Amino acid sequence: MAELAVGDKAPEIIAQNQSGESINLSSFLGKKVILYFYPKDNTSGCTTEACNFRDNYQALLQDGFEVIGVSIDSEQSHQKFISKFELPFHLLADEDQKIVNDYGVWVEKNMYGKKYMGTARTTFVINEKGIIEHIIKKVDNKNATQQIRDLYQG
């Protein structure tokens, strides 16, 4: 599949969240969506990023954004992650890797010389009409919200 670019229609997502509810990306039309992909629940970088979105969630809502996290972890893993860190937004379980593949973030990684497949930490900002407005490939975990805000100030 071709790599997604700014201006492309965001691929539809139909997935289960941490509570087993079916979430459709199209149901968020009319809002801006911060769709962030992260490698794994309860790891240091992913926790830092999730907590940054948590700490800024009310302000993001006021700015018209909805936050949705996606990883290949299970609903149960997401439930534990959410309750441990009091995350107020949806985390989608992508155990079959459909969403990470649709968004082109399932990539070959290399750690200590060992190659493996994993999720590239990437944030897509999708506008009210379902079009990709921004793609952040170099996510700053500690300042993920500010990175997005900076895109809209100017």
The catalytic residue among 10, 15, 35, 46 is: 46
CB under 8 Å to 42, separation ≥6 — which residues? Answer: 77, 80, 81, 84
pLDDT tens digits for 74-127?
A: 999 999 999 999 999 999 999 999 999 999 999 999 989 999 999 999 999 999
Catalytic residue status for 46:
yes
Q: Does pLDDT of 3 surpass 70?
A: yes
Burial of 22 (C-beta count, 10 Å sphere; 0-12/13-18/19+): exposed
Going by pLDDT thresholds of 50, 70 and 90, the confidence category of residue 154 is: low
> Tokens 């700014």 sit at which residue?
6
The average pLDDT across 36-62 equals 96
Q: What is the CATH number of domain 16-151?
A: 3.40.30.10
Q: Encoding tokens for residue 105?
A: 């973030």
Closest to 4 in 3D by CA, of 94, 137, 140 = 137
Question: For residues 116 and 33, what is the distance between their CA atoms, to the nearest angstrom?
Answer: 29
Is pTM, for the whole model, over 0.85? yes
